[in-house]
């Protein structure tokens, strides 16, 4: 079988597309702002032991519900714990829940989507019907049900959120795989005798990664909200360990006496979710193959 010559232009095409995508991303001010917010949240979470001015679980009954001042910038809670320190440590729980949950969804959902899209027929029918059944249940309702079944803990909350988000990646990956497997280079790979596993890993997977990356960044924002919701309901991070959602759960009883207990964790959740959403939108535009 005759082979087509590999030209320098073909070799440099992918790097050029990546450079154009990066340049387009950097020109998007909203996307850059989102990336900066995400980097800020990650740095706060990683450096929590060094950035937190106080022990996040140390109670002090001499400073119960103390308003923000020079000693406690964000005030204290109902047990005299520093709200700023708890928010800094809570960033770890929220970020960990977002990243690990999406990691579970990607690790499970992408391979299932590849199998469904590539092999079709019975495999596609079984996987797609299971995914459709899970998608028929609202995301947060499914996550709450699974978390309640597994029991309250941050680990179980991450598993529940990951399983609830998994069908989205199954459907997305299946659709992309159906499109890619019809391309000429995939047919050529079959013609020269490559087995299905090599075709999926070498030709299908790399071409479905860009939309998966975009979906993952957007799903992290959704997972952060889900973790906060579960913690608010007592199904996520358990006290006294700090979490933005559990802080809101406690603050609901002191909205009139100590509004800062709810304002600052709420702002933190808002900014983190906004950052990941802006980042995801920017990646979607930058990785759009029609504009590269």
Mean pLDDT, the chain, as a whole number? 85
Is the overall model pTM greater than 0.75, yes or no?
A: yes
Within 10 A of 134 (CB to CB), how many other CB atoms are there?
Answer: 18
Read off the pLDDT of residues 194-224 as tens digits, 9 standing for 90 and up.
777 888 888 888 888 888 988 998 899 999 9
What are the structure tokens assigned to 64, written together? 């119960």
- Domains, the chain, in order of start with CATH, read 70-291 (1.10.3720.10)
Read off the pLDDT of residues 143-153 as tens digits, 9 standing for 90 and up.
999 999 998 88
Report helix, strand or coil for 46. helix
CA distance 19 to 86: 40
Read off the pLDDT of residues 156-198 as tens digits, 9 standing for 90 and up.
999 999 999 999 999 999 988 888 887 777 778 777 877 778 8
Read off the pLDDT of residues 57-115 as tens digits, 9 standing for 90 and up.
888 888 888 889 888 899 888 888 999 999 999 998 889 888 999 999 999 999 999 99
């Amino acid at each position: 079988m005759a082979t087509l010559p590999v030209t320098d232009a073909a070799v440099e095409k992918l790097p050029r597309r990546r450079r154009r995508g990066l340049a387009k991303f950097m020109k998007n001010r909203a996307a850059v702002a989102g990336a900066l917010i995400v980097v800020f949240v990650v740095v706060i979470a990683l450096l929590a032991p060094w950035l937190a001015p106080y022990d996040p679980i140390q109670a002090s009954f001499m400073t119960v519900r103390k308003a923000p001042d020079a000693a406690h910038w964000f005030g204290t809670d109902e047990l005299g714990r520093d709200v700023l320190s708890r928010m800094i440590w809570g960033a770890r729980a929220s970020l960990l829940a977002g990243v690990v949950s999406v990691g579970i969804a990607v690790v499970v959902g992408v391979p299932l989507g590849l199998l469904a899209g590539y092999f079709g027929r019975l495999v596609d029918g079984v996987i797609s019907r299971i995914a459709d059944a899970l998608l028929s249940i609202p995301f947060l309702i499914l996550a709450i049900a699974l978390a309640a079944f597994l029991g309250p803990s941050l680990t179980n909350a991450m598993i529940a959120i990951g399983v609830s988000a998994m069908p989205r990646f199954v459907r997305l990956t299946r659709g992309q795989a159906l499109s890619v497997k019809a391309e000429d280079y995939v047919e050529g790979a079959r013609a020269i005798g490559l087995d299905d596993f090599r075709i999926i890993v070498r030709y299908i997977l790399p071409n479905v990664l860009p939309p998966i990356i975009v979906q993952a960044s957007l799903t992290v924002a959704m997972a952060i909200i889900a973790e906060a919701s579960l913690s608010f309901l007592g199904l996520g991070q358990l006290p006294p360990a700090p979490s933005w959602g559990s802080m809101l759960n406690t603050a609901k009883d002191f909205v009139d006496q100590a509004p800062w207990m709810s304002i600052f964790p709420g702002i933190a959740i808002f900014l983190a979710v906004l950052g990941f959403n802006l980042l995801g939108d920017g990646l979607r535009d930058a990785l759009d193959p029609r504009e590269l």
